[in-house]
């Protein structure tokens, strides 16, 4: 009797969550697959009774798009460049933080700051720092911006980073700097947490054996931290393939410098561009993205299974 009463009570507690999840999470999974398989699916036309050709036409169309290949290329490049850099840098910072006493808390707080910022807003600050003001292809700029000023003060030559006429790799360089800046806090937090949990005896043993600092780092620290490293690499890859808002922050909705819109667009950007006018194609692109993320995560898990020491 009491057990039965509990049954419906539990479902009552779960009701709001289940209703919302059914409408906004479960249904989308099926509907997105359905839309992706109907050629040029259009909602209004569907309500009007139109039928759509069933098959993989949307996928074929998406893959043959030059715009899509640009997006895919940008996404893959940004991911494979920024994930190793930010992971290595975060590891070095975490190890350094773990081996100092004085000011350690203050450094930790500073390094965490980028995490609690709005990535669109700070992207605009990076844009301001890298951009030149005024001037055209032939005329001298009024101001070359703070970063170029620093470069020239160090004896370098200024570069057109983000303005009209800037080249692809200059744009990418700014994006890489910004994405790494943004990705560091989470990785430092996780890796430092891991380091603080490491038993000090391992280090004492290494010291007693007369191992050098470098050797200790590669043979003790990295293996002991490998579960956390695997964790930040996997989440880094997943986040990297969904990169979008840092590019919007710096270059705006045009996803590229003035005069070259879309040149820095990503997979997610491609999907959002297609949502309103061709949901079928957007669905196909989203499923391709999901497949890529799934495959990369599986490879990551497979590699880490072999390499991670628990």
With contacts defined by CB under 8 A, name the span among 67-75, 129-137, 218-226, 298-306 that binds another protein.
Answer: 129-137
Helix (H, G, I), strand (E, B) or coil at 135: coil
Query: Closest distance between another protein and the C-beta of residue 172, in Å?
Result: 19
Size, binding site for another protein by CB under 8 A: 94
Query: Closest distance between another protein and the C-beta of residue 13, in Å?
Result: 4
Asked if 125 interacts with another protein (CB under 8 A), we say yes
By CB under 8 A, name the one of 171, 206, 229, 249 that touches another protein. Answer: 249
Q: Is the dihedral of CA 78, 84, 85, 91 positive or negative?
A: positive
Site string for another protein, 197-236 (x = CB under 8 A): -----------xxx--x-----------------x---x-
Helix (H, G, I), strand (E, B) or coil at 143: strand
Asked if 254 interacts with another protein (CB under 8 A), we say no
With contacts defined by CB under 8 A, name the span among 53-61, 70-78, 80-88, 277-285 that binds another protein.
Answer: 277-285
Dihedral of the alpha carbons of 82, 80, 246, 291, in degrees to the nearest 10:
-150
Query: Closest distance between another protein and the C-beta of residue 270, in Å?
Result: 10
Query: Closest distance between another protein and the C-beta of residue 306, in Å?
Result: 22
By CB under 8 A, name the one of 84, 134, 136, 197 that touches another protein. Answer: 134
Q: Output the CA–CA distances (angstroms, integers) from residue 188 to 76, 94, 125, 184, in the order listed.
A: 23, 6, 23, 6
Closer residue to another protein (CB): 139 or 276: 276
**Beta bridge partner(s), residue 38:** 54
Q: Please give the Cα distance from 251 to 243 (Å, whole number).
A: 13
Q: Please give the Cα distance from 85 to 87 (Å, whole number).
A: 5
**Beta bridge partner(s), residue 54:** 38
Q: Please give the Cα distance from 65 to 52 (Å, whole number).
A: 21
Cβ neighbours, 10 Å, residue 270: 27
**Structure letter (DSSP) for residue 220:** I
- Nearest alpha carbon to residue 150 among 158, 141, 139, 162: 158
Burial class (CB in 10 A: 0-12, 13-18, 19+), 267: buried
With contacts defined by CB under 8 A, name the span among 50-58, 72-80, 141-149, 164-172 that binds another protein.
Answer: 141-149
By CB under 8 A, name the one of 58, 74, 86, 119 that touches another protein. Answer: 119
Asked if 256 interacts with another protein (CB under 8 A), we say no
Range 31-60, binding another protein (CB under 8 A): 31-32, 35, 43
The region, left, alpha or beta by phi > 0 then psi within -120 to 50, assigned to residue 212 is: beta
Closer residue to another protein (CB): 213 or 307: 213
DSSP for 267-281, please give it. HHHHHHHHHTT-HHH
By CB under 8 A, name the one of 74, 243, 271, 300 that touches another protein. Answer: 271
Range 11-30, binding another protein (CB under 8 A): 11, 13-14, 16-17, 20-21, 23-29
Closer residue to another protein (CB): 59 or 126: 126
Closer residue to another protein (CB): 60 or 125: 125
Query: Closest distance between another protein and the C-beta of residue 307, in Å?
Result: 20
Query: What's the maximum distance between 2 C-alpha atoms anywhere in the chain?
Result: 86
Q: Is 223:310 a contact under the CB 8 Å cutoff?
A: no
Asked if 196 interacts with another protein (CB under 8 A), we say no
Range 66-85, binding another protein (CB under 8 A): none
């Amino acid at each position: 009797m009491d057990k039965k009463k509990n049954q419906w009570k539990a479902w009552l507690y779960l009701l709001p969550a289940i209703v919302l999840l059914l409408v906004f999470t479960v249904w989308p999974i099926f509907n997105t697959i359905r839309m992706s398989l109907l050629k040029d699916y259009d909602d209004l036309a569907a309500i009007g009774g139109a039928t759509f050709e069933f098959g993989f036409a949307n996928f074929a169309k998406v893959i043959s798009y030059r715009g899509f290949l640009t997006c895919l290329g940008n996404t893959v490049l940004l991911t494979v460049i920024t994930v190793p850099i930010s992971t290595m840098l975060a590891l070095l910072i975490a190890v350094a933080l773990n081996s100092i006493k004085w000011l350690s808390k203050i450094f930790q707080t500073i390094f965490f700051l980028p995490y609690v910022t709005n990535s669109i807003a700070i992207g605009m600050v990076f844009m301001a720092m890298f951009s030149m003001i005024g001037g055209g292809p032939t005329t001298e700029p009024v101001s070359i911006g703070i970063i170029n000023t620093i470069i020239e003060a160090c004896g370098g030559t200024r570069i057109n980073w983000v303005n009209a006429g800037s080249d692809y790799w200059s744009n990418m360089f700014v994006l890489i700097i910004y994405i790494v800046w943004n990705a560091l806090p989470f990785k430092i937090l996780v890796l430092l947490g891991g380091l603080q949990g490491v038993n000090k005896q391992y280090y004492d043993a290494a010291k007693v054996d007369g191992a050098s600092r470098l050797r200790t780092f590669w043979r003790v620290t990295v293996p002991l931290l490998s579960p956390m490293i695997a964790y930040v690499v996997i989440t880094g890859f997943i986040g990297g393939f969904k990169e979008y808002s840092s590019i919007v922050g710096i270059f705006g909705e045009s996803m590229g410098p003035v005069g070259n819109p879309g040149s820095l667009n990503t997979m997610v950007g491609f999907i959002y561009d297609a949502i309103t006018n061709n949901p079928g194609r957007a669905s196909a692109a989203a499923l391709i993205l999901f497949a890529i993320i799934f495959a990369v995560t599986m490879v990551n898990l497979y590699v880490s299974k072999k390499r991670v020491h628990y």
